[in-house]
Structure 1
Amino acid sequence: MSLYAQHTSTALAERLRDAYAVTAEFMADIVRQSCRRFPSAGQSVKSSRVERLILSGAWTDAALALIDLELPQWQVRRLVYDEGEWHCALSRQRELPDWLDPSVETRHADLALAILAAFVEAQRISAPESRPSVPSVRRDAGALYEPLLTDNFG
C-alpha cells in the first residue's frame, strides 16, 4: 500500500472514530477516499443502489451495500449493541471459529459509523501493496563488502 493511501485510510479512520453522525458529505468523502469500484461499469446495479441509499439517508443500508460492492469477499460476522456502543466485526470466512479467522472489529455509538469504520479498516487490509516489478537490493551493505567477479571467461 502506498504511503498516501495508508495516510488517507488512517485519517479517514480517525474521522470516523470522532464523528457523531453520518452526513451525505461525509459519506461522499468515504466513497471518494476508500472505494475503488464505485462507480463501476460492471456493477452498475449495485452502484446505483448505493447512490439511492445515500440520497435517501439510509446510512446503515448504504454502509452494508458498500461492503457488498467493494469487498464482496468480506461478510458481516457480528453486529452487537453493548453498553451504548455498536460492535461490528467483518471477516472473510464467517463459518470458521473466531480464533481461526482474523476479523476486523470496530465499535462506535452510531451503527452506521461502526459499520463504515469496519469497512474502511477491511479496505486498508485488503488493499494490495504496491511493489515494484523488479526486486529491490539491500542498501545496507557492510563496510567490508566488495563486489567480486566470479564468471570464468576462459
Structure 2
Amino acid sequence: MTAAPRCYDPPSLSERLRTVDAMTRPLMLEIIDKACRRFPSLGQNERTARVMRLVDAEAWTDAALALMELELPLWQVRRIAYDEGEWHCALSRERELPDWLDAAVEGCHGDLAIALLSAFIEVQALAVEVSRPSVPSVRSALDPLYEPVACDHFG
C-alpha cells in the first residue's frame, strides 16, 4: 500500500502565521502536518511523543523549539530578541560566524512561539526550493536553425 503524498506548503503557512494573534493547538497541528517531513516518518518515538506532550500542555515555545530540533538538526537558534512589542528570532546553520557573514533566516511576531515557527517555516521553504534541480532541463528537440560551429583558433 502506498502512502498518499503529503502537501508541503510553507508559503501559505507563513502567511497564516503573520495573521494570527496567538498559537493554538489546531494551528500547531497544521504546521506539523503541512511543514514537517521528518515528524510523520519517525512514527511514535520518544522525540515525537515529547513534541506532542508539549502541544497537549500548550507549551508553545518549548514545542516550537522541540519541533525545530527534530526537523532541522543542522540549524540552531542564533538570536532571540524582543524589540518594540515583537519577538525577532534568527535561525542559522553557522551560528559561530559573525552576523555580517551569516545567512540567518529570521521570523518576527508579537508571540514568541509564532516568531520561532515563522523562522522555522522560512527554513522549510528554503529547503523546498533547494530540492529543485540546479541544472536546467535539456530541450527535447534542437532548434532547426541551430548549427554547431568550431571557434578554436590555433595561430
- The TM-score normalised by the length of structure 2 is 0.81
CA RMSD of the aligned region, Å? Answer: 2.7
- The answer to which of 105-114 and 35-44 deviates more is 35-44
Gaps of 5+ in 2: 1-6, 149-155
- Give CA-to-partner distance per residue, 1:13-71, whole Å, 9 cap, x none: 00001111111000000000010111443881111110000000000000000010000
For 2:131, the equivalent position in structure 1 comes to 129
Report the AA paired with residue 120 of structure 2: F
Separation (CA, whole Å) in 1 of partners of 2:105 and 2:119: 6
Separation (CA, whole Å) in 2 of partners of 1:125 and 1:35: 13
Separation (CA, whole Å) in 2 of partners of 1:112 and 1:81: 12
- The answer to which of 134-143 and 123-132 deviates more is 134-143
For 2:96, the equivalent position in structure 1 comes to 95
For 2:21, the equivalent position in structure 1 comes to 20
**CA offset at residue 124 of structure 1?**
1.5
- Identify if the C-alpha distance between structure 1 residues 109 and 138 changes in structure 2 by more than 3 Å, giving closer, same or farther: same
**CA offset at residue 139 of structure 1?**
6.5
In the alignment, is residue 145 of structure 1 matched against residue 152 of structure 2?
Answer: no
**CA offset at residue 99 of structure 1?**
1.6
Residues 92 and 104, structure 2, Cα contact 8 Å, conserved in 1: yes
**CA offset at residue 140 of structure 1?**
9.2
Gaps of 5+ in 1: 148-154
Report the AA paired with residue 131 of structure 2: E
Residues 77 and 91, structure 1, Cα contact 8 Å, conserved in 2: yes
In the alignment, is residue 116 of structure 1 matched against residue 137 of structure 2?
Answer: no
**CA offset at residue 85 of structure 1?**
0.3
Equivalent pairs, count: 142
Residues 14 and 118, structure 2, Cα contact 8 Å, conserved in 1: yes
Runs of 4 or more above 3 Å deviation: 39-43, 138-143
